[in-house]
Amino acid sequence: MALQVRPEDGKPIAVSIPQLARLTGMSEGALYMRANQAELPGCRKIGARWLVHLETFEEFLKTGINLDA
């Protein structure tokens, strides 16, 4: 399956938790813990895989406001 990208900037729409860990420098364990507690903005579990919507996560990083709450 090809990773979908936003046409305007070429960034992926969503990434896996291991990919997000590499992008942010955060530990996978901390990200999975927050995902399982429903505290990771933009995160959704699809089947057995967690995906994080980058635009939502980036907005959270900028503002500190969880738009999923």
Q: Is residue 14 part of a domain?
A: no
pLDDT tops 60 at residue 69: no
Domain count, the chain: 1
Q: Is residue 12 part of a domain?
A: no
Q: Is residue 3 part of a domain?
A: no
Q: Is residue 29 part of a domain?
A: yes
Angle at which helix 17-24 crosses helix 28-36, to 10 degrees, equals: 130
Rounded to whole angstroms, the Cα distance separating 10 from 26 reads: 23
Q: Is residue 1 part of a domain?
A: no
pTM greater than 0.85 (yes/no)? no
Per-residue pLDDT tens over the stretch 18-44: 999 999 999 999 999 999 999 999 999
Of the pLDDT bands very low, low, confident and very high (cuts 50, 70, 90), residue 1 is very low
Residue 31's domain comprises: 23-63
Mean of the per-residue pLDDT values of the chain: 88
